[in-house]
Amino acid sequence: GQQLNQSPQSMFIQEGEDVSMNCTSSSIFNTWLWYKQDPGEGPVLLIALYKAGELTSNGRLTAQFGITRKDSFLNISASIPSDVGIYFCAGQGTGTASKLTFGTGTRLQVTL
Amino acid sequence: KAGVTQTPRYLIKTRGQQVTLSCSPISGHRSVSWYQQTPGQGLQFLFEYFSETQRNKGNFPGRFSGRQFSNSRSEMNVSTLELGDSALYLCASSSLPGGVYEQYFGPGTRLTVT
């Protein structure tokens, strides 16, 4: 099945550092969503983006919907240990389809 | 407001058996989607239901089926289980279908096929 290209695949950072990850697609999406998943749990929605060029923040998280509608990035500032997990981007299609196409995931590990 | 609930959380089945998984969406949400998550393929869309009708279907064999009830609860069924069906099955709900409504996920059902 289709997956979006997400990078980096994994990151090891120190507490307090900023993190940046991005997602690219060959297809246009109407909505970009960013999720975080902890082991054995379902993805938790972090940020939703609805318009090309939109920049949205949620606490220490900032995400942008690319102008071309084919990419998005997520930044986490001043990382803390509870940021550990796998982050997924997801694109939601045009028209009336609710189907989400997910990225390959970025595994974030934070060291003290 | 309670989140999406899925039952059971864990399941072990034998090859050739069938299995039914259940999902209760967030109260007031009428759209339910199902996803399969495996280490090799990641998160893949299975199907979406709204008002008891399947609106969208992913690229999975006919052994995978689902339905939605009038109270928006949904079930998915996998018949003639194969080893490759071992996965985390996730259900997501949204208020309405369509590309502008956020989807919220349940904790998933971990299916192991032996």
The minimal CB distance from A30 to the residues B90, B94, B100 is found for B100
pLDDT digits (tens, 9 = 90+) for A24-33: 999 898 899 9
Nearest residue in A to B91, CA atom: A42
Interchain proximity A43–B90, CB inside 8 Å: yes
Which is nearest to A87 in space by CA: A67, A65, A72? Answer: A72
Minimum distance, in Å, between the CA of residue A90 and any CA atom of chain B: 10
Q: Is residue B1 classed exposed, middle or buried when 0-12, 13-18 and 19+ CB atoms within 10 A define those classes?
A: exposed
Q: What pLDDT is attached to residue B80?
A: 97
Alpha carbon A98 to its chain's center: 18
pLDDT at A96 over 60: no
The minimal CB distance from B56 to the residues A48, A97, A105 is found for A97
Q: Return per-residue pLDDT of chain B as tens, 114 residues.
A: 679 999 999 999 999 999 999 999 999 999 999 999 998 889 999 999 999 999 889 999 999 999 999 999 999 999 999 999 999 999 999 887 765 678 899 999 999 999
Cβ-Cβ pairs closer than 8 A, A with B, add up to 89
Cβ neighbours of residue A31 closer than 8 Å, sequence gap 6 or more:
A48, A49, A50, A91, A92, B99, B100
Q: What pLDDT is attached to residue B40?
A: 85
φ and ψ of A34, to 5 deg:
-120, 130
Minimum distance, in Å, between the CA of residue B18 and any CA atom of chain A: 23
Q: What pLDDT is attached to residue B96?
A: 77
